Amino acid sequence: MSDEPVSDDPMSDDALTGDPAAAGVAMDDPYWSIHCVDVHKRLGGVAILDGVTLDVPDDTITIVLGPSGTGKSVLIKHLIGLMFPDSGDILIHGDSVPRLPLPQLLALRRRIGVLFQDGALFGSMNIYDNVAFPLRQNTERSESEIADVVKQRLADVGLTAFEGLFPSELSGGMRKRAGFARALCTEPDIVIFDEPDSGLDPVRTALLCELIQEMHATYGGTYIVVTHDIAAARRIGEYIAVLWKGRIVQSGAAAEMFASENPFVRQFLSGSASGPLGMD
């Protein structure tokens, strides 16, 4: 959250900095739960992440905004150790994700709830069993203890009456909510949403955003919502990072970002056709 003026050139080093040191924040400041430090990743010979430096504040809803195909899902995979960087580092609560031995990586993943872009529910299981799955898989809890949690989470997301249905019998919005219930059932301290709004109409997107806000207010935690929906960012974002061409253009508190002088950020957040961002 820098008061430094940003460069007029949206892709200059100054404009692209997400460097907390530049913002006067120490790297080990406990306020940040996640640090991405100069993360590079090439896929199929193309630089997808091209020096991502991003700090995610604790106990806050952070929005990572970026156009389609810009590397948002790839970034999420790095956060949870499903992909590893060619260079750079990802630190979660001080642990380097790419350097964690497998047992610790699996333990870390259990502390992170993820709502994948497509919901990623098991088609062969009903909604109750989908939500119960991480608890059955990762905990020693009895079925009656699991039932208490599953029923609470299904009530939270308004799916109590639908627990016996299969994913194919639900609407897209209901599948997202079921995925959300599943992501929350292990009481994760970090919850990551990959485009929760994709495939939903504006009303259902608004309702889902409301639900994300409510769940965050109830259970707390570090929420990261990845999206290209500026309206969603405006509605629920407390901290916003703009990702473009594999780098973070700027990040900061929502009010600061919506008042940004950076021409790319301004154009992107206002959804304007005029500015440095073209169709390329």
Ligand X SMILES: Nc1ncnc2c1ncn2[C@@H]1O[C@H](COP(=O)(O)OP(=O)(O)OP(=O)(O)O)[C@@H](O)[C@H]1O
- Residues 45-104 within binding reach of Mg ion (CB under 5 A): 72-73
Does position 195 interact with ligand X (CB under 6 A)? The reply is: yes
Among 1, 21, 26, 43, the residue binding ligand X under the rule CB under 6 A is: 43
Does position 156 interact with ligand X (CB under 6 A)? The reply is: no
Among 228, 240, 257, 260, the residue binding ligand X under the rule CB under 6 A is: 228
User: Which does residue 274 touch among Mg ion, ligand X, none (CB within 5 to 8 A, set by kind)?
Assistant: none
114, 111, 109: which is closest to 182 by C-alpha? 114
Give the strand order in the sheet containing 112-115.
112-115, 190-194, 222-227, 61-65, 239-244, 247-253
> CA geometry: angle at 56 spanning 8 and 5, to 5°?
20
Q: Give one word for 195, left, alpha or beta, with left for phi > 0 and alpha for psi -120 to 50.
A: left
User: Which does residue 228 touch among Mg ion, ligand X, none (CB within 5 to 8 A, set by kind)?
Assistant: ligand X
How far apart, in whole angstroms, are the C-alpha atoms of residue 195 and residue 147? 29
Q: Which is nearer to ligand X, 72 or 153 (CB)?
A: 72
Does position 198 interact with Mg ion (CB under 5 A)? The reply is: no
Segment near ligand X (CB under 6 A), from 10-18, 66-74, 122-130, 266-274? 66-74
Which residue is at the shortest CB distance from Mg ion?
Answer: 73
- The answer to whether 238 touches 59, Cβ cutoff 8 Å, is no
Segment near ligand X (CB under 6 A), from 7-15, 64-72, 89-97, 180-188? 64-72
Q: Which is nearer to ligand X, 51 or 134 (CB)?
A: 51
- The answer to whether 175 touches 121, Cβ cutoff 8 Å, is yes
How far apart, in whole angstroms, are the C-alpha atoms of residue 34 and residue 46? 25
Binding residues for ligand X, rule: CB under 6 A, are 43-44, 48, 66, 68-74, 117, 195, 228
